[in-house]
């Protein structure tokens, strides 16, 4: 039976992708679109590339949402918690694309965000929506915290190796580059074309809030929680994250062990492929796929793993739909694109 869907934060980049995917999903029907400053607009004014231009955007208000099977929240940090709880109270399943429910303890949350959580009892209750590593938690759940874009790439790269005990010591280095859509759609001087084009810079060095999420995720799959050094960079493209990860190999580990562990981890995962050459983000842009490419450096006994995803799909809207499929008991791949855009 077709699932009735609401999307809050519909006017942003992730919101637009949720609309595009849900519109094309065989088992979903969008019945409500919410926005903040764009409430009152039509969809066509906000996303001229989408169909159904005449659809109206209402407010991001759970009171407007009735008779809905699931709500996707694509809201800024801190804005998800209240509507999420209100919707759950109404019996609506929630996939939160924000960071409000990703961290699993009050300590971790307050260390990352420097403020108390409005519903501390919820921390640790929300399955972490990275199906390839936590599929069992997601299946059938009524609420899911969809991972951040960078942690998705880093955990797909390092999670199975850490979990299998093939890495040892640390810290692990996650050096990532991202297209600008990850920074959102609001007008900011540093995201203007004239500021982004033809230049690259790191940002959030040592302070980016996706780092604790990576450490928590590694701890959840494996043997102890390693420390991560994470440096994100902005590059002049719209979509795509490439994370190049460095970690020490455990004693005796061979290159073949690394590749075998990745193949074993992802053999049943339709969206993740282990590849033999460095992937270009362009090969996955437009899809919900991830490509993983791993090396063992014999000179330094270190493992290098490169992961490529589309930050708006596998790193946000696509993964949210993937989670929703599992929450509803649908086919995991339903409605999710497998072929990319190139050129």
- Contact call for residues 143 and 296 (beta carbons, < 8 A): no
Considering only 79, 295, 333, 334, the residue that binds its own copies (CB under 8 A) is: 295
Q: Which of residues 136-175 bind its own copies (CB under 8 A)?
A: 170-171, 173, 175
Report in angstroms how near the CB of residue 7 gets to its own copies at its nearest. Answer: 14
Q: Does 188 bind its own copies (CB under 8 A)?
A: yes
Indicate the helix (H) or strand (E) that contains 241: strand 241-248
C-alpha to C-alpha distance for 301 and 241, rounded to whole angstroms: 26
| List of residues 6+ apart from 15 with CB closer than 8 A | 7, 8, 9, 33, 35, 74, 317
Considering only 199, 254, 263, 264, the residue that binds its own copies (CB under 8 A) is: 199
| List of residues 6+ apart from 169 with CB closer than 8 A | 248
Considering only 9, 129, 147, 179, the residue that binds its own copies (CB under 8 A) is: 179
Report in angstroms how near the CB of residue 106 gets to its own copies at its nearest. Answer: 20
| List of residues 6+ apart from 6 with CB closer than 8 A | 30, 31, 32, 33, 34, 65, 68, 70, 71, 72, 92
Report in angstroms how near the CB of residue 282 gets to its own copies at its nearest. Answer: 3
- Contact call for residues 323 and 24 (beta carbons, < 8 A): no
Report in angstroms how near the CB of residue 333 gets to its own copies at its nearest. Answer: 11
245 catalytic? Reply is no
Indicate the helix (H) or strand (E) that contains 95: strand 93-96
Q: Which of residues 261-290 bind its own copies (CB under 8 A)?
A: 278-287
User: How many residues are recorded in the chain?
Assistant: 343
Q: Does 54 bind its own copies (CB under 8 A)?
A: no
Report in angstroms how near the CB of residue 291 gets to its own copies at its nearest. Answer: 9
C-alpha to C-alpha distance for 312 and 273, rounded to whole angstroms: 18
Q: Does 41 bind its own copies (CB under 8 A)?
A: no
Q: Which stretch, 43-51, 74-82, 113-121, 149-157, contacts its own copies (CB under 8 A)?
A: 43-51
Residue from 46, 149, 250, 290 carrying the catalytic annotation: 149
DSSP class of residue 128 equals B
Residue 16 or 159: the one with the smaller Cβ distance to its own copies is 16
Report in angstroms how near the CB of residue 137 gets to its own copies at its nearest. Answer: 28
DSSP per-residue codes, 279-332: PPGGGTTTSS-EEEEEEEETTTTEEEEEEEE-TTTTTTHHHHHHHHHHHHT--T
Give the x-and-dash track for 219-258 against its own copies (CB under 8 A): --------x-x-x-x-xxxxxx-x-x-x------------
From residue 232, give the alpha-carbon distance in Å to each of 9, 211, 256, 307. Answer: 24, 10, 29, 14
| Residue of 71, 69, 73 whose CA lies nearest to 81 | 73
Q: Does 202 bind its own copies (CB under 8 A)?
A: yes
Considering only 205, 254, 264, 268, the residue that binds its own copies (CB under 8 A) is: 205
Q: Which of residues 298-317 bind its own copies (CB under 8 A)?
A: 299-300, 302, 304, 306, 308, 312
Report in angstroms how near the CB of residue 261 gets to its own copies at its nearest. Answer: 18
Q: Which stretch, 85-93, 156-164, 189-197, 326-334, contacts its own copies (CB under 8 A)?
A: 189-197
Q: Which of residues 6-35 bind its own copies (CB under 8 A)?
A: 13, 16, 20, 23-24
Residue 33 or 242: the one with the smaller Cβ distance to its own copies is 242
Q: Does 38 bind its own copies (CB under 8 A)?
A: no
Catalytic positions are 149
């Amino acid at each position: 039976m077709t699932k009735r869907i609401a999307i809050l934060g519909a006017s942003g980049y992730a919101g637009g992708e949720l609309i595009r995917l849900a519109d094309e999903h065989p088992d979903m029907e969008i019945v409500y679109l919410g926005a903040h400053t764009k409430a009152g607009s039509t969809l066509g004014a906000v996303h001229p590339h989408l169909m159904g231009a005449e659809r109206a955007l209402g407010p991001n208000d759970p009171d407007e949402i009735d008779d809905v099977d699931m709500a996707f929240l694509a809201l800024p940090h801190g804005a998800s918690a209240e509507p999420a709880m209100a919707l759950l109270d109404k019996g609506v399943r929630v996939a939160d694309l924000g960071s409000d429910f990703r961290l699993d303890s009050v300590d971790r949350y307050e260390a990352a965000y420097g403020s108390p959580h409005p519903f501390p009892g919820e921390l640790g209750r929300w399955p972490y929506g990275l199906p390839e590593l936590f599929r069992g938690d997601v299946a059938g759940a009524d609420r899911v915290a969809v991972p951040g874009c960078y942690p998705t790439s880093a955990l797909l790269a390092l999670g199975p190796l850490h979990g299998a005990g093939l890495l040892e010591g640390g810290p692990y280095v996650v050096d990532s580059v991202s297209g600008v859509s990850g920074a959102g759609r609001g007008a900011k001087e540093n995201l203007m074309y004239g500021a982004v084009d033809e230049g690259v810079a790191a940002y959030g060095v040592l302070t980016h809030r996706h780092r604790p999420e990576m450490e928590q995720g590694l701890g959840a799959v494996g043997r102890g929680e390693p420390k991560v050094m994470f440096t994100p960079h902005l590059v002049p493209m719209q979509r795509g994250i490439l994370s190049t990860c460095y970690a020490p190999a455990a004693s005796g580990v061979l290159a073949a062990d690394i590749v075998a562990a990745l193949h074993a981890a992802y053999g049943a995962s339709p969206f993740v492929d282990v590849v033999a050459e460095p992937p270009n983000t362009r090969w996955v842009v437009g899809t919900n796929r991830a490509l993983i490419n791993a090396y063992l450096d014999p000179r330094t006994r270190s493992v290098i793993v490169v992961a490529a995803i589309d930050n708006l799909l596998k790193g946000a809207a696509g993964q949210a739909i993937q989670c929703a499929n599992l929450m509803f008991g649908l086919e995991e791949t339903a409605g999710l694109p497998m072929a990319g855009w190139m050129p």
